[in-house]
Amino acid sequence: MIIFGSPGRYIQGPGTLDRIGEEVGRLGKSAVLVADAVVDGLVGGRVAAGCDAAGVTLRKLAFGGEITPGEIDRLHGALGGERPEVVIAAGGGKCIDAGKGLAARLGAEVASLPTVASNDAPTSHVYVLYDEDHRLLRVDRLPRNPALVLVDTAVIVRAPRILFLAGIGDALVKSFEAAQCALSGGRNIFGSRPPQVGLVLADACYRCLRDHAAPALAAVDRGEPDEAVERVVEATVLWSGLAFENGGLSIVHSMTRGLSAVPALAGSLHGLQVAYALLVQCLLEERDPAFMDDLLAFYRGTGLPCGLADLGLEAPSDADYALIAELTLQAPHARNFDRDTAPGDLVRAMRFLDGRAGTLPRP
């Protein structure tokens, strides 16, 4: 059996924010906008105007900044018994996941309105919860993917470059994880054998980013959306989400459990964490030195992290390495790998990356 899941409707391009009222109106006549103060200042007025024009009653709730069970409790309590039909989750991955958590409580539809392209949270039906110290707590699920994903690339290019880079890192890894999930007989996020389209999308993601990441980053530096930006955003927000949910995950995303448990690494962006973890997985796969050199050159050219120091941990201790490895292999997706892996294998790979000298042969 195979299962394929996707958002109900995906709209991308400069100025698409002005469609928000019309699109939300297809889903319901009452909505709540979940956004932090910065994002509300950026898009809140246009959302309100669009909803008003479409006859959609809108209420706003301020996101507190961290996606924890307590934050979802707070947002739900702030509604005071109101049950809007649509949750518009605007901002980055944390706020969009908070909106998903609120929608799950309400039984409401989700409209994702990303203002950054830092990960593929806008398209997926899963949302990640952390504790108060930003250690990964658990992954919960909506009954279905967001009904609407609306991506205004004129807004996206005004966000900090590092967030765009994180999105590239998050999407880049999906080809390697989907391949390992398929090789090992693993299951995708929907609990089925991965459909072929998941693998195709994952591979397309990787090829698109290798071809277009550099010019897209240059366009972001200029603050001007262009064709490279459009291609990369489609890959990082849409294809990447479809790829991981349908193709499956492996060691790379499992490493976020370990990396987020080290205080110096916990605040680093998800996309940068998994980009680093891809190097670890490739070493575990025993990729040849030429492949690793090519991938490392791409990392260096774009600014993706090549070692733990690039993520904020300057001098990892033996205990740090051991903790990351142990928690990584406790994650369920770590089983989606085509060979047995022990904590010592991960430690050797991490140590090798931290001590690299221009090439990346086997650990």
Q: What value does the mean pLDDT of the chain take?
A: 95
Three-state secondary structure call for residue 40: helix
At residue 360, does pLDDT exceed 90?
no
304: Cβ–Cβ under 8 A, 6 or more apart, which residues? 165, 168, 169, 172, 272, 275, 276, 298
Same domain, residue pair 181 and 288: yes
% of the chain with per-residue pLDDT over 70: 98
Query: Is 359 part of any domain?
Result: no
- Residue 361 domain-assigned (yes or no): no
**Which pTM was predicted?**
0.93
Query: Any idea of the CA torsion for 95, 34, 37, 266, to the nearest 10 degrees?
Result: -20
List 140's β-bridge partners, or say none.
Answer: 127
Task: Give the CATH number of the domain where residue 102 resides.
Answer: 3.40.50.1970
Is the domain of 212 the same as that of 346? yes
Give pLDDT, residue 96.
97
Task: Write out pLDDT tens, residues 61-100.
Answer: 999 989 999 999 999 999 999 999 999 999 999 999 999 9
Q: Which residues lie closer than 8 Å to 319 by C-beta, 6 or more apart?
A: none
**Residue 189 forms part of a structural domain:** yes
Based on the domain organization, do 334 and 280 belong to the same domain? yes
CA distance 360 to 340: 21
- What average pLDDT score do residues 160-172 get? 97
The span from the CA of 279 to the CA of 84, in Å, is 44
Residue 4 lies in a domain: no
Which SS3 state, helix, strand or coil, does residue 12 take?
strand
Among residues 156, 182, 208, the one where a domain terminates is 156
Average pLDDT over residues 28-34: 98
Same domain? 350 vs 214: yes
Q: Is residue 298 part of a domain?
A: yes
Residue 29 sits in the same domain as residue 46: yes
- Residue 5 in any domain: the answer is no
Kindly state the DSSP code that residue 335 receives in the 8-state scheme: G
User: 16 pLDDT band (50/70/90 cuts)?
Assistant: very high
C-beta neighbour count of 50 within 10 angstroms: 21
Are both 43 and 124 inside the same structural domain?
yes
Indicate the number of domains in the chain: 2
Name the nearest CA neighbour of 122 among 273, 249, 9, 2.
Answer: 9
Which amino acid appears at position 172 of this protein? L
**CATH number for the domain harbouring residue 183:** 1.20.1090.10
CB contact set of 200 (below 8 Å; sequence gap of 6+): none
Q: What is the pLDDT of residue 361?
A: 37
Mean pLDDT of 106-114: 98
Q: Give the pLDDT band of residue 362 (cuts 50, 70, 90).
A: very low
- Look at residue 216 and tell me whether its pLDDT is greater than 80: yes
Three-class SS state of 90: strand
Domain that holds residue 225: 161-354
Backbone phi, then psi, for 133, in 5-degree steps?
-100, 15
Residues 6 or more apart in contact with residue 113 via CB below 8 angstroms: 17, 20, 43, 47, 88, 89, 90, 91, 122, 150
pLDDT at site 133: 80
Residue 183 has pLDDT above 50, yes or no: yes
Are residues 201 and 88 both part of a single domain? Answer: no
Band the pLDDT of 359: cuts 50, 70, 90. Answer: very low
The mean per-residue pLDDT over the stretch 225-237 comes to 97
130 found inside a domain: yes
Report pLDDT for 363: 33
Whether residues 237 and 280 share a domain: the answer is yes
Last residue of some domain: 156, 186, 220? 156
- 40-59 tens-digit pLDDT: 999 999 999 999 999 999 99
Query: The tokens 């972001």 sit on which residue?
Result: 220
Tell me the DSSP string of 105-170.
HHT-EEEEEESS-SSSGGG-SEEEEE-TTS-EEEEEE-SS--SEEEE-HHHHTTS-HHHHHHHHHH
Residues 6+ apart with CB under 8 A from 271: 118, 119, 165, 166, 167, 168, 169, 170, 171
pLDDT in tens, 277-296: 999 999 999 999 999 999 99
Res 358 pLDDT > 50: no
Are 125 and 179 part of one and the same domain? no
Q: Are residues 255 and 179 in the same domain?
A: yes
Bridge partner list, 31: 58, 86
Please report where in the chains the tokens 């479809």 appear, as a residue. Answer: 242
Q: Are residues 141 and 184 in the same domain?
A: no
Among candidate residues 156, 175, 201, the one where a domain is terminated: 156
**Residue 357 pLDDT:** 38
Is 362 within a domain? no
Same domain, 280 and 146: no
Select from 207, 194, 85 the least CA-distant residue to 147.
85
